């Protein structure tokens, strides 16, 4: 058998269910890899090794009981995962990537964690995030930055950057992420993974007052479409059972089926370009060309799509995106511990007031209707996942490079410059969240060309509501 971490998530799931591997063997192997690799990667903020081994032992006991009694096993029986440190795991501190909070262990599991624990997973710990999940890079003031496994000088993206780095480096077989402006798709593209943002409402989000526009959706980060589909089955209530609104069969079975031929609109237009004009890197255009080549070879039709976005979008999105941090409970004496970007956008959010937020939300609802109407001329929309190659660690913040993390005094105070760089880096992400549509990032290109060396680059496919299975099918059809 291959090394445990070299198995796909589907192969590992099958080995755990058959008894070929025990949960303790699998969990111990991944914990050893984390201990060896995380000091270089910065993927984990907290490793819960002791609890993970206890949970693995309990999983093995349930396996023995199921074999004895003839009962079934949970969908993801014994599968190791990690949760980004914006999500509560009972008994573990949730840092939100911030030095400004008073840390206390969470009293209960968040909705996503509860769903996956119910599906049988074993949590290995909490992964690195930017402060409050606000940025397209996973660097903060409390722990070393999350680095790209393919080039440690580069960022793994954000905000699910620690989770993406962990999956790409074989520290976990797959991981859930959350995506409010690209936070699954950006790190997936940076780390050479398949990253799926489901459509609004498909995966239960739990209660939240910090997302008034309904931007955030939880979805899988995985090394293949099949692995992503398996994790999605555990996230969607009733998937594969015919219950709820989810399809039966489940996403994993559907992803293995050939998709129908589809018409795909290709666009480089972005709602950010009037405020932040940008030119895609050559490597982004190479990825797009490779995506088109693969799609056409698979029998799909592609053509340029003429899409127009309202130039009021940047201000309205920024208002909605930062509303949560404006209302976060932070003691006044601790606000100096926030990163420059968080502190700046928190102050502006507090100054805007509820009327401005309501106005922005109304605009975004109209933007959603207008954009979906334009996309409806096509079965899917195609664009690069990122406009630039994965950025160097510290590039957005101006912080000096190093092996550790940096105090606030070493971060540049240019919040607007930081934000502009992010919007130019990932200009095709956030509008998908505003529209509530599903989208997938697929790693079709490497900067090293045929040598396989270099950095990954991806393309993004955006589909209409309910097209998650189609997106996974197309990704699998392209060889991912």
Active site residues: 84, 159, 183
| Distance from chain centroid for Cα 172 | 15
Cβ-contact 422, 136 below 8 angstroms = yes
The answer for residues whose C-beta is within 8 angstroms of residue 24's C-beta and 6 or more apart is 53, 56, 57, 60
- Closest among 381, 385, 382, 380 to 458, alpha carbons compared: 385
E strand or H helix at 151? strand 151-155
| DSSP per-residue string spanning 375-422 | HTTSSEEEEES-SSSPPBTTTTT-PPP-SS---GGGS---HHHHHHHH
Half-sphere exposure of 119 (CA within 13 A, CB side): 24
Token pair listed for 52:
């993970």
> CA torsion sign, 408 to 413 to 414 to 419?
positive
Phi-psi region for residue 452, left (φ > 0), alpha (ψ -120 to 50) or beta?
Answer: left
> CA-to-CA distance for 33 and 247, rounded, in angstroms?
36
Task: Give the pairing type, strands 175-179 and 217-222.
Answer: antiparallel
> CA-to-CA distance for 56 and 15, rounded, in angstroms?
14
> CA-to-CA distance for 256 and 475, rounded, in angstroms?
10
> CA-to-CA distance for 314 and 275, rounded, in angstroms?
7
């Amino acid at each position: 058998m291959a090394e445990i971490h070299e198995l796909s998530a589907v192969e590992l799931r099958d080995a755990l269910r058959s008894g070929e591997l025990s949960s303790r063997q699998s969990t111990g192997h991944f914990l050893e890899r984390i201990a060896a690799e995380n000091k270089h990667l910065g993927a984990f903020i907290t490793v819960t090794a002791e609890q993970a081994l206890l949970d693995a032992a309990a999983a093995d006991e349930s396996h023995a009981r199921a074999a004895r009694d003839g009962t079934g096993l949970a969908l993801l029986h014994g599968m190791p995962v990690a949760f980004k440190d914006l999500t509560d795991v009972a008994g573990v501190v949730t840092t939100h990537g911030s030095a400004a909070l008073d840390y206390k262990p969470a009293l209960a599991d968040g909705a996503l964690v509860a769903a996956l624990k119910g599906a049988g997973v074993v949590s290995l710990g909490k992964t690195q995030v930017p402060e409050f999940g606000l940025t397209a890079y996973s660097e903060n003031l409390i722990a070393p930055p999350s680095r790209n496994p393919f080039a440690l000088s580069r960022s793994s993206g954000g905000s699910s950057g620690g989770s993406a780095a962990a999956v790409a480096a074989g520290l976990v077989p797959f991981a859930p992420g959350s995506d409010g402006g690209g936070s699954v798709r950006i790190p997936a593209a940076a780390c050479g993974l398949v990253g799926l943002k489901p459509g609004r409402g498909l995966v239960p989000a739990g209660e939240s007052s910090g997302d008034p526009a309904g931007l955030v959706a939880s979805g899988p980060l995985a090394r293949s479409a099949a692995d992503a589909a398996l994790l999605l089955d555990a996230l969607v209530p009733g998937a594969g059972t015919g219950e709820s609104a989810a399809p039966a069969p489940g996403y994993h079975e559907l992803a293995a089926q050939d998709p129908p031929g589809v018409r795909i609109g290709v666009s480089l237009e972005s709602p950010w370009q009037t405020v932040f004009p940008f030119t895609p890197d050559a490597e982004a255009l190479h990825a797009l060309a490779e995506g088109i080549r693969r799609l056409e070879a698979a029998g799909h039709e592609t053509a340029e799509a003429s899409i127009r976005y309202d130039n009021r979008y940047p201000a309205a999105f920024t208002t909605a995106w930062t509303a949560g941090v404006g209302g976060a409970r932070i003691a006044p004496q601790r606000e100096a511990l926030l990163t420059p970007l968080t502190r700046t956008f928190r102050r502006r959010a507090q100054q805007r007031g509820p009327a401005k937020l309501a106005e922005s939300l109304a605009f975004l609802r109209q933007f959603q209707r207008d954009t979906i109407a334009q996309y409806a001329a096509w079965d899917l929309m195609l664009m690069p996942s990122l406009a630039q190659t994965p950025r160097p660690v510290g590039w957005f913040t101006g912080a000096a490079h190093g092996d550790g993390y940096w105090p606030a005094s070493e971060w540049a105070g240019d919040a607007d410059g930081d934000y502009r760089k992010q919007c130019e880096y990932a200009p095709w992400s956030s509008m998908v969240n505003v529209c509530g549509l599903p989208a997938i990032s697929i790693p079709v290109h490497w900067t090293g060309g045929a040598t396989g060396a270099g950095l990954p680059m991806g393309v993004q496919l955006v589909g209409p509501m309910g097209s998650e299975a189609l997106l996974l099918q197309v990704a699998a059809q392209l060889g991912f």
